[in-house]
Chains A and B, each alone.
Chain A
């Protein structure tokens, strides 16, 4: 069976646009009978990847495009959703990509971190996530089976 395109679009990189597109993707995943927990995992990981692009590639300025493509492949023994993001931000530092530990949770409430969970969440919910730097663009691709 040929892959089904669920989303293929480019939009200015703002948190609000990310939110809107994740809602659209949620509806598409449901329409394509992607199982609930898998759907949740895709949306959680993609939220972190896209928010990272907004914040670090474009400094939350909205001045930069994010190209998002999502395909569903349904085959007899393997169903999977393939996701790719492309942005024109600066190269992603290697140590950022490798970071997969949780921030320290201290007993003192005032010391509990309010961020830094993104990459841990991404690595926890994907078998692998690929990063490529091609023609001044950052490309992230990952897939989730269902």
Chain B
């Protein structure tokens, strides 16, 4: 799977280049994030703009990634497409993460994620 990263101040923005976060890549997704997040301190924003599909395994992967962050810190998701947002809202998991309209808004946000 493909991820690209960008850092601004203390925020690490990880862009998911794949169109699907699903059962087929869930394990790889978690492993790749674990390596990317190792030693990082600060906000973590996942740019989901290219992600057109998220199933419950993909949702579980996002939860697993959030658990990799320092205690109490919320994972920030940006640019959710309608189908992806629907899965989060349906499962009430939209309240578990911090959601942003897009990566730019996320970077500019002064909201404290911790």
C-alpha spacing A9/B73, complex, angstroms: 45
A16 within 8 A of B: yes
Please tell me the number of chain A residues within 8 Å of chain B, measured between CB atoms. 30
Q: Which residues of B contact A16 (CB under 8 A)?
A: 24
Q: What residues of A have a CB within 8 angstroms of the CB of B56 in the complex?
A: 47-48, 51, 115, 117-118, 121
Q: Which of A1-36 contact B (CB under 8 A)?
A: 15-16, 18-19, 22-23, 36
The residues of B that contact A120 with a CB separation of less than 8 Å are 90-91
CB atoms of A109 and B72 under 8 A apart: yes
Q: Interface majority SS on A: helix, strand, loop or mixed?
A: helix
* Of A37-45, A62-70, A81-89, the one with at least 4 CB within 8 A of chain B: A37-45
Contact with A along B59-102 (1 / 0, CB 8 A): 11101101101011110000000110011001111011000000
Bound form: Cα–Cα A48–B53 in Å: 12
| B23 interfacial by beta-carbon distance below 8 Å | yes
Residues of A within 8 A of B96 (CB): 105, 109, 112
Q: Does A102 contact B (CB under 8 A)?
A: yes
Contact indicator A48/B55 (Cβ below 8 Å)? yes
Residue of A nearest to B55 (CB): A47
In the complex, the answer to whether B82 meets A51 with C-beta atoms within 8 Å is no
- Bound CA span A113–B95, Å: 14
Q: Nearest A residue to B95 by beta-carbon distance?
A: A105
> 27 A-B pairs, CB-CB below 8 angstroms?
A15-B23, A18-B22, A19-B22, A19-B23, A19-B25, A23-B20, A40-B86, A43-B53, A47-B22, A51-B56, A54-B23, A102-B91, A102-B92, A105-B93, A105-B95, A109-B67, A110-B71, A112-B66, A112-B67, A113-B63, A114-B60, A114-B61, A117-B60, A117-B91, A120-B90, A121-B87, A125-B90
Binding site for A on B (CB under 8 A): 20, 22-25, 53, 55-57, 59-61, 63-64, 66-67, 69, 71-74, 82-83, 86-87, 90-93, 95-96
Interface set of A (CB-CB < 8 Å, partner B): 15-16, 18-19, 22-23, 36-37, 40, 43-44, 47-48, 51, 54-55, 102, 105, 109-110, 112-115, 117-118, 120-121, 124-125
